[in-house]
Structure 1
């Protein structure tokens, strides 16, 4: 059985801002103005024209703040980093809040490192190991002479040190197509040539002819990592292993930034600014928020998106009535997520049911929309998941009004639970054991 998350139906931001088949496919229902803002944010990120900014998504619970952020992540694609966290995770760790925020920001910045490898690839025609190689193995001076051949000729190579050891570990045979990368000291068997294949069957791919091209080739490889990966990779490198294990200091970050800047100037690397999304941002204290403003002014800083369901007032003339400091709000951009009505909630339930291949009737969608408006959208989704289990027991092939009414009868929402807590002693007698 496949488990679907709360936002598994989100596929991206539709280009048509009214309800249509395109909007239904992408899963982002309603929020006309918010989708325009989300599309603009995604375009700025993809065109690399974003500034060091902090954007605050404000809206009621269930309005779709997280859904809009995930739709932006789908829109920018997998090549641009998107890191999602919540304010509660920042306080649950033993590390300092500033250290966690710094790591999260650097995790949302990607680095593309361009590497050029020299590769020798061809069919092994013959190889010769020097005499008494077992004695020389202990002194690590084995020399192996091999001949590789392609359709355009052959080449004789001599393997030393680790390359010769890896060659013996792989144990290639005559007729094997092998690949040798001196930079990484690797020897890999790619397959076997059919014209030189012995009677022994080979589990790898079979080549009918010699490979095309020359034996010596240059191959460009793009290594995609984050700025935080570089920090951890260089923990034991700078200053003669001065830093402790997994310890990242400000001095180390500065040295890594200088190294990245050098690679960018030499066109050996490319920096990609992504998005850091922090849900439940109202949990953060003023110190953490002001530290985020300092990080946003740094040259290596992602686009920071905060989401909160608390009231945020950007009208500074009337005073600050929100939980965020006034100095912090002056450096932010606000996006208000408009609330969804019963019809849009029903459309969201319909999209989720289509995502999990669950047929549902119109009356059932109206009831789910009513529960979403009066209670919460997540309660309605939970009722649909429970009703899906009841359908399997009843033998039906679709979700109707009666099934979801039974699920709503057995499972209470928080409003009914509060009433039950006041009158629970009268309804259910409590027996004290101790």
Structure 2
């Protein structure tokens, strides 16, 4: 921290939030879709991970769009972790939308509209657009300013490639763009002829001798070859819901930022579907079926299940992944008992992955991974104690004890978390079983 002219200048500190599943990098499978015991943040669950790997392979090959997958298992067996691993394995190009069933009932719009918007967010469209650009190395940039200081500025831009050199006359808009981007001789730039946008690609290698020292932001590139004017194909990736919002509101794309999307008329969606399908037939667009993950799916009612039963068979439908920890329970909104709290006709259309419980060794590995993710140094005895607590309480509870124990370690100024900090954290914070016992004993008294 420094003081300049009486002002206190503080150092900028980057704050990173560590989420519950931030340690997961993928499914941990090899090229033959065989899972390792511990890889990419995933531990155990070999059969479930391998089954999820086949699902990912089918998604990437476009063979499973419009189907549904159900991940079942007891609480704390990694159902959400498997869904997150699927999203990581799919990559950034495949849309992944995660919601909880309770979100459907907490919005101002009706249930089916909320589910429809979630479905549309999970369907991506890659739209191809051809643009004409000027690409080359700037040889000289001359700007003529009016002597009075009032009026438009004009200029001349000399660009070259390895094969040719051309001079272009610039208007005031292009001159302002060059000034704003700090374009100088020796820069390799790309100019969009339609929009007038100027983009600096880097600095030409031929100008590298001009610098005795340079910062990390200086990027040297080769001088382009061929003609200066070229046609480039640009691919824009958007989701269907964004297209719906833009075409259903008078303020257009502003609704995307305000969040006030409201209900979208079916006529608008039908017109958009028709247009997008035409683009696909003409080769201008390509569908990217994504993944819609609904956690705690047993919270949905019979109306939502009926809607999903029909929606997953639509032509424009993503892969639906649902997770639940219910065994035999009533379908919400009815008196019918069914497996996993879902109607049998919907279960018939789903592939089911069973998440098994973790062994003590696997729990120990997960706790070690979580400690490393949070930057906590924990000794072996403390980790062994945490593993025993996880078997008697729950793994989620013990994962939260790691952060508390780290705060206690900092206060005592120890090098690593020991059993003493774990014991103090255990006494300070109750788990669900001890809390239930405490309430039961208090009620009896």
TM-score, normalised to structure 1, is: 0.80
> Which residue is 2:256 aligned to?
none
Q: Does 1:152 align with 2:163?
A: yes
For residues 280-300 of structure 1, the C-alpha deviation after alignment (integer angstroms, 9 at most, x for no partner) is 111111111111122111111
The reply to whether residue 90 of structure 1 matches residue 101 of structure 2 is no
Provide the C-alpha distance between the structure 2 equivalents of 1:208 and 1:32, rounded to a whole number of angstroms: 46
Q: In the aligned structure 2, how far is the partner of 1:222 from the partner of 1:36?
A: 33
Of residues 90-99 and 174-183 in structure 1, the stretch that sits farther from structure 2 once superposed is 174-183
Aligned to 2:349: 331
Alpha-carbon spacing, 1:63–1:124, altered in 2? closer, same or farther (3 Å): same
Distance (whole Å) between structure 2 residues aligned to residue 299 and residue 412 of structure 1: 50
Query: Displacement, 1:404?
Result: 0.9
Equivalence for 1:5:
19
Show CA shifts across 1:94-145 (max 9, x none). 11211111111111112222222211134264668799999997xxxx9877
1:389 aligned residue (394, 407, 410): 407
The 8 Å contact of residues 378 and 418 in structure 2, kept in 1 or not, is answered as: yes
Per-residue deviation, 1:403: 2.3
Instruction: Tell me which moved more, 293-302 or 394-403.
Output: 394-403
Given the alignment of the two structures, is residue 300 of structure 1 paired with residue 316 of structure 2, yes or no?
A: yes
What runs of 5+ residues in structure 1 fail to find an aligned partner?
Answer: 239-244, 428-434
Alignment of 1:330-369 (within 5 A): 330-369=348-387
- 1:376 counterpart (373, 390, 394): 394
In the alignment, is residue 420 of structure 1 matched against residue 429 of structure 2?
A: no
Task: Show the counterpart of 2:235.
Answer: 222
**Residue from 186, 200, 219 that aligns with 2:197:** 186
Looking at structure 1, the residues matched to 299 and 368 of structure 2 have their Cα atoms a distance apart, in angstroms, of 33
1 CA distance for matches of 2:359 and 2:219?
A: 61
> Counterpart of 1:252?
268
The one of 38, 47, 65 aligned to 1:24: 38
The CA RMSD over aligned residues, in Å, is: 3.9
- Residue deviations 1:229-253 (CA, integer Å, cap 9, x gap): 2222333589xxxxxx845322211
Alignment deviations for residues 355-376 of structure 1 (CA, whole Å, 9 cap, x no partner): 3343434443333223223322
Q: Distance in 1 between matches of 2:379 and 2:145?
A: 79
> Which of 111, 125, 131 lines up with 2:125 in the alignment?
111
In structure 2, the CA distance between the partners of 1:136 and 1:253, relative to structure 1 (3 Å rule), is: farther
How far 1:5 sits from its partner (Å)? 1.6
Residue by residue, what CA displacement relative to the aligned partner does 1:18-47 show, whole Å, maximum 9, x if unpaired? Answer: xx9953332222222211211111111122
- Alignment map for 1:134-173 (pairs within 5 Å): 147-157=158-168
Q: Distance in 2 between matches of 1:312 and 1:182?
A: 63
C-alpha change, 1:328 and 1:210, in structure 2 (3 Å) is closer
User: Relative to 1, partners in 2 of residues 1:30 and 1:157: Cα closer, same or farther, differing over 3 Å?
Assistant: same
Tell me how far 1:279 sits from its aligned partner: 0.4
**DSSP 3-state at the match of 2:248:** coil
Task: State how 1:276-287 maps to structure 2 within 5 Å.
Answer: 276-287=292-303
Once structures 1 and 2 are overlaid, which stretch shifts more, 156-165 or 321-330?
156-165
Q: TM-score by structure 2 length? A: 0.78
1:342 Cα deviation (Å)?
3.0
Q: Which has the larger radius of gyration?
A: 1
Partners of 2:316 and 2:74 in 1: CA distance: 32
8 Å CA contact 1:190–1:205 kept in 2: the answer is: no
